[in-house]
Structure formats: structure tokens, C-alpha cells
């Protein structure tokens, strides 16, 4: 469940988010606070590391770390961005 939610959230943000903003953006997107304890993990980093097939952590310090989709899902980011661009272009044409 968390892996799917994290994937959805990251797809909405071009495949990556700053670790420091991940919990806030999760709350904004799903309207429920992220509780690692609900998934059996003591903290956010432990929870993120539990799904290495979906998420990769990059960077050294907490402020500089980013949560990214693994290369397996990077194609989905490009597909999602292309879809959004197509919808925006279609919407602009309708407004003319």
C-alpha cells in the first residue's frame, strides 16, 4: 500500500521530492498524515528503505537527501509528463 502511494506521489512531482518535504507533500496529496509506525517502522527513512524496488534515497544529509523513483519507474514519469503536456495543449486549444 505505501509503495503504491509513494509511487503515485512521486509521479506527481516528476519522480523526486526532497526528503524534508516528503511527509508534508504526502499529507497534501492524500489528506492523511504519514505514520511510519502504522507500517511497522520506527521512522520515515526506515519506511522508505523498506521499498527499494520503488524508491531510492539519494544525498548525504537529511536536508540534501531526495526521495526518487527507481530507474524501473522513470519511464512512467516521462509518460505522465507527456500526458499532462498533451492535456494542457488540448485545453489551451479549446480556450482559443
Residue pLDDT, tens place only, 10-65: 988 888 899 999 999 999 999 999 999 999 999 999 999 999 989 989 887 767 88
Structural domain count, the chain = 1
**For position 76, what pLDDT does the model report?**
53
**Total residue count of the chain as it appears in this document:** 96
pTM of the entire structure?
Answer: 0.71
Which domain CATH number covers 66?
A: 3.30.420.610
**For position 12, what pLDDT does the model report?**
87
Domain that includes residue 26, residue range: 2-95
Which carries the bigger pLDDT value, residue 96 or residue 49? 49
Q: Where do the H-state alpha helices sit in the chain?
A: 2-12, 19-30, 44-49, 71-95
Q: CB 62: neighbour CB atoms within 10 A? A: 11
Q: Which DSSP state fits 70? A: -
**For position 74, what pLDDT does the model report?**
61
Amino acid at each position: 500500500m505505501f509503495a503504491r502511494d509513494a509511487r503515485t506521489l512521486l509521479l506527481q512531482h516528476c519522480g523526486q521530492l526532497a526528503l524534508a518535504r516528503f511527509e508534508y507533500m504526502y499529507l497534501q496529496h492524500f489528506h492523511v498524515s504519514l505514520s511510519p509506525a502504522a507500517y511497522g517502522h520506527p521512522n520515515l527513512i526506515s519506511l522508505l528503505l523498506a521499498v527499494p524496488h520503488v524508491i531510492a534515497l539519494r544525498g548525504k544529509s537529511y536536508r540534501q537527501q531526495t526521495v526518487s523513483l527507481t530507474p524501473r519507474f522513470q519511464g512512467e514519469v516521462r509518460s505522465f509528463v507527456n500526458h499532462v503536456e498533451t492535456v494542457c495543449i488540448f485545453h489551451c486549444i479549446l480556450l482559443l
